[in-house]
Chains A and B, each alone.
Chain A
Amino acid sequence: MIFARGLVKRFGDFTAVDGIDLEVAPGEAFGFLGPNGAGKSSTMRMIGCVSVPTAGELRILGMDPVRDGTRIRARLGVCPQLDNLDPDLTVRENLTTYARYFGLSRAESRRRADELLEFVQLSDRAGGKVEPLSGGMKRRLTIARAMVNEPDVVLLDEPTTGLDPQARHLLWERLFRLKQRGTTLVLTTHYMDEAEQLCDRLVVMDGGRIVAEGSPRALIETYSTPEVLELRFPDGLDANPQYAARLEGVGKRVDPLPDRVLVYVEDGDVALAEVHRRGLTPSSALVRRSTLEDVFLHLTGRTLVD
């Protein structure tokens, strides 16, 4: 569906995307994971044929985005990071109007609008304006709008950023159904749970490059350990690096944070026993499974990116 080799996007001196390779198969849910400024959105805009690559090769649905932009966009659904619904139109008109851009007839536009409003559970708001909708409702409407042309690929740029847990779960459930219907999903996110929930395969981007690639499980296996032991010590913040030194060898890797020490281990309980054997007495100890967040922070570092 999507194929890229050495894809580059530069804005003046700034390189947003620095030579990435990727391939997305039909029916796959593919994710771009990365901190802000990693180049996710720039990549999405190139795939959405609204941004011309600076260099490299890009094929979407077997076509060239520069030459066949119109034909490709006809088969894509795009859900941008910031909702750009039309406040001058009603909820239903937002869909019917959009359908017309794809050349659908009036009758067909209305039929699909009603069907999609049902799908995203907004039928009862059909005649109302967009403004009073909650953030979750707006997002659902934007996703419905992205589906109005029955796209082969749906591009979702941070689909659940800023939503409350209920709204996120409802959205995930709808996206999962979409995936079950065979629609290819490409999404960006910086939520690890979202990536784990939705993506068959993902790439971790940092500084415009792909730093890791694989299924969520495979990434955890490669870049982390099965379990993580989280230890807190009573002596205050500065002591953690010293504790980390004394924990050396307990696990594969020790990561002292200001508030706790993370120990990456095969088996948390065995490791905890070893901690006690070394005469250390943490005020709290928590054994948990490794998550994508551990992979993510390991790969992209802990420095805050704005």
Chain B
Amino acid sequence: MMTTLVVSRVSPNRVGAVVNRNVGALRSGPAYWIVLVSGFFEPLLYLLSIGVGVGALVGNLTVGGRTMEYASFVAPAMLAVSAMSGALSETTFNFFFKLKYMKTFEAVLATPVRPIEIAVGELIWAIVRGSVYTAIFLVVMVALGLTSPVGALAAFPATVLVGLGFGGVGMAISTLMRGWQDFDLLSTGQFALFLFSGTFSPVQNYPAGLEILIQVTPLYHAVELVRGLCIGVIEPSMLVHVAYLAAMAVGGLWFAARRLEKTLCE
């Protein structure tokens, strides 16, 4: 009921204007492109060094009754990571900067635009940015034979969902940040997720307690969903992953909008 009330008041026009601001900022300077490019290369380098490099030592891997090259196992995880970090860098660093230092949102809130519309617009922009990463990454995967074109097409919408989930939560976290020091904590958390979410080895290989712990964390769901689609193993349990990521997106958005209103409209 609450949600429908809020959603019905969101104007696509005003959300578009929020996105439009970011398009303008992207166009008007070269600095932004550098940030964009750097975000793409990190997962790609991991894929090449660990997936292909270490993969040559590891050999084939059998997961859920299917045997595959190690690189094919790692690549979808790197894709999910790419979707995560693309959305996060936009909704954490950039969002925080606009919120705290540039006072961008303060200026926007003097217009008819509402906090929820800022949150939705910023999230959409984060997805646009993240999708550039993931689309290129998928092309690389297909070119290296790490997934089929069909798998890539199926995985793409999943990466959008991953971006929405992490973007929503990232934005919510940004509204709680006190200063740049807090971002160190965030990067540490992000790195821990990156290493232990079934990215480089199947979670089934972990001790039971740890396995359960990992299944609670978000990147695990992102990796499992994207990997399943890339390697063509479709299971009903994927709906759990979808629900988990969707909940992150909606919860994060709602929280971020509430916080924006609290801090900027007091």
Contact = CB atoms under 8 A, between A and B. Distances in A.
A86 to B, nearest CB: 6
Interface string B114-133: 10000000000000000000
Contacts of B37: none
Given A76-B110, A84-B107, A101-B14, A93 B24 contact: yes
B114 A103 contact: no
Interface string A67-89: 00011011010101010111111
Contact of A86 (B25, B113, B114, B265): B25
B104 A50 contact: no
A73 B111 contact: yes
B34 to A, nearest CB: 14
Contacts of B109: 50
B112 to A, nearest CB: 4
A86 B254 CA distance: 26
Nearest to A52: B265
A100 interface: yes
A149 B114 CA distance: 17
Contacts of B14: 101, 103
Contact of A93 (B28, B112, B113): B28
Contact of B112 (A73, A90, A97, A129): A73
Interface in B12-32: 13-14, 16-18, 20-21, 24-25, 28-29, 32
A14 interface: no
Contacts of A145: 107
Given A100-B17, A101-B14, A88 B110 contact: no
B17 A101 contact: yes
B264 interface: yes
B25 A88 contact: yes
Contacts of A300: none
A82 B103 contact: yes
B7 to A, nearest CB: 15
Contacts of B265: 50-52
Nearest to B32: A88
A89 B17 CA distance: 14
A89 B113 CA distance: 19
Given A50-B264, A89-B28, A84 B111 contact: no
Contacts of B107: 80, 84-86, 98, 145
A41 to B, nearest CB: 13
Contacts of B18: 101
Contact of A84 (B20, B32, B103, B113): B103
Contact of A103 (B21, B103, B104, B112): B112
A71 B264 CA distance: 19
Interface string A49-64: 0111000000000000
Nearest to A79: B110
B106 interface: yes
B108 interface: yes
A48 B266 CA distance: 12
Contacts of B20: 97, 100
Contacts of A101: 14, 17-18, 108, 111-113
Contacts of A85: 107
Interface in B79-110: 102-104, 106-110
A86 B102 contact: yes
Contacts of A82: 103
Interface string A82-112: 1011111110010011101111000000000
A84 B24 contact: no
Top 10 closest pairs, chain A to chain B, by CB: A88-B25, A100-B17, A84-B103, A101-B111, A78-B110, A84-B107, A70-B112, A74-B112, A101-B17, A97-B21
20 contacts: A50-B109, A50-B110, A50-B265, A51-B265, A52-B265, A70-B112, A80-B107, A82-B103, A86-B107, A88-B25, A89-B28, A93-B28, A96-B24, A98-B107, A101-B17, A101-B18, A101-B113, A102-B111, A102-B112, A145-B107
Given A97-B17, A100-B20, A103-B11, 5 more contacts: A73-B111, A76-B110, A84-B103, A89-B24, A100-B21
Interface of A: 11, 48, 50-52, 70-71, 73-74, 76, 78, 80, 82, 84-90, 93, 96-98, 100-103, 129, 145, 149
